[in-house]
Amino acid sequence: MIVAPKIRGFICTTAHPDGCAKHVAEQIAVVRKRGPIAKGPKKVLVIGASAGYGLASRIAAAFGSDAATLGVFFEKTGEADRTGTAGWYNSAAFEKEAAAAGLYARSFNGDAFSDAMKAEVIAAIKADLGQVDCVIYSLASPRRTHPKSGEVFKSALKPIARSYTNKNLNTTTGVVGEVTIQPAEGDDVAQTVAVMGGEDWEMWIDALLAENLIAPGTQTLAYSYIGPDLTWPIYKNGTIGKAKEDLERVQRELDAKLAPLGGKAWVSVNKALVTQASSAIPVVPLYISLLYMVMKADGSHEDCIEQMDRMFRERLYNDGDPQPDEAGRIRLDDWEMAPAVQQLVIDRWHQVNTENLKELADFDGYQASFLRLFGFGLEGVDYAAETDAATAVPSLA
């Protein structure tokens, strides 16, 4: 079929198989250009492996460190006349590139929160790899069915205690308006913590430890965000921030559990970037558009792949010098949070409106990045040509 973008608010309901493949190939090229990651991981499990930070982690581990990778994700397959999700096509492309490079890659499509998925992955590790030496936890989900109680939790993106009003960008029209978000009510905080907090990460590591599938020296990471104080009411101090606090609680627990094996658990604070998850957060897309403008101008802009490559190369496998902050977190948001960058972003935040948006913010870059997530706007892809929407992920075929 011929595939064009169909955007509905902050989601694109179509994805282009060849465009996604090109997006993956470009990320692989970034890693290859930087050369091998010395002493990197060799057997890596990525939970949330098909898009954004998780996909970039999988690519950096495989193509920077020659790692065998297992990737877990929740995506929709395509059919001859209906496209699958971008993460499906990304994973198809990743596996093909991995096979061409002689790298083991196996994928699992289903609910990572479930016991069944954990059992499936455990069986695969036993059968194929023996153990893993790195576990990346990069899920972003609006809901979770608890594997023991069956309760369905829904995450909310809300401030706590009082409503929050700030500027907001309509990413389809480019209109800068204002949004007011009502505070969390009822058990919104507990629900969000249940979905995006650390319980499931701990369940994964516990399950792997119980089966002796964690190699000595294993490192495990989950991703977080802090950002500037203008977004704190909706992020750091909001419902999602409470979930990220819970992630740090679990990090300390996992650290203790891995210590006897010489292993380590980390929370890595990453840069704000356009992904399917971040585009759903109010206020954040305007901040990201302003940030991209400043960071592209000063040459410090990175996308998911540059962030994850730097994470493996200069933090996690950097001869024991991951440069943690005072709270023990890895900081890949260091360039985003540089005072000179933040000062410019904040100044422009106060000035920005619909009329001067393109002068002060990289709105074109935001939209281009968003489309690229779904495989659109990539150089060298013939979007007028027929493409195979039923493209398979080889290990799932």
Q: How far is the CB of 276 from ligand NAI (least distance, A)?
A: 4
Helices then strands, counting H and E runs in the chain, come out as: 12, 13
Residues that bind ligand NAI (CB under 6 A): 48-54, 72-75, 87, 111-113, 138-141, 223-225, 270, 272-273, 275-278
Q: How far is the CB of 255 from ligand NAI (least distance, A)?
A: 18
Residues 6+ apart with CB under 8 A from 209: 257
Locate the DSSP E strands across the chain. 7-8, 11-12, 43-47, 68-73, 105-109, 132-137, 143-145, 152-154, 164-169, 176-181, 214-224, 264-269, 330-331
- Alpha carbon distance 241, 157 (integer Å): 9
Q: How far is the CB of 225 from ligand NAI (least distance, A)?
A: 4
Q: Is 96 helix (H, G, I), strand (E, B) or coil?
A: helix
> Given the complex with ligand NAI, which of 21 and 273 has the nearer CB atom?
273
* Shortest-Cβ-distance residue relative to ligand NAI: 52
> Given the complex with ligand NAI, which of 225 and 363 has the nearer CB atom?
225
DSSP state of 229: T
Clarify whether 383 is annotated catalytic: no
> Given the complex with ligand NAI, which of 215 and 227 has the nearer CB atom?
227
> Given the complex with ligand NAI, which of 317 and 370 has the nearer CB atom?
370
> Given the complex with ligand NAI, which of 27 and 275 has the nearer CB atom?
275
- Alpha carbon distance 311, 60 (integer Å): 9
Q: How far is the CB of 90 from ligand NAI (least distance, A)?
A: 8
Q: Cα-Cα-Cα-Cα dihedral of 51, 52, 53, 55, to 10°?
A: 30
- Alpha carbon distance 175, 88 (integer Å): 32
> Given the complex with ligand NAI, which of 141 and 261 has the nearer CB atom?
141
List the catalytic residue out of 235, 292, 317, 366. Answer: 235
Q: Cα-Cα-Cα-Cα dihedral of 130, 135, 139, 145, to 10°?
A: 50
Residue identified by tokens 């970039």 is 56
Residue pair 258/301 in contact (Cβ under 8 Å)? The answer is no
Residue 220's identity, in one-letter code, is T
Q: How far is the CB of 291 from ligand NAI (least distance, A)?
A: 10
**CA gyration radius, the chain:** 20
Q: How far is the CB of 262 from ligand NAI (least distance, A)?
A: 26
Residue 169's identity, in one-letter code, is L
Residue positions annotated with a catalytic role = 235
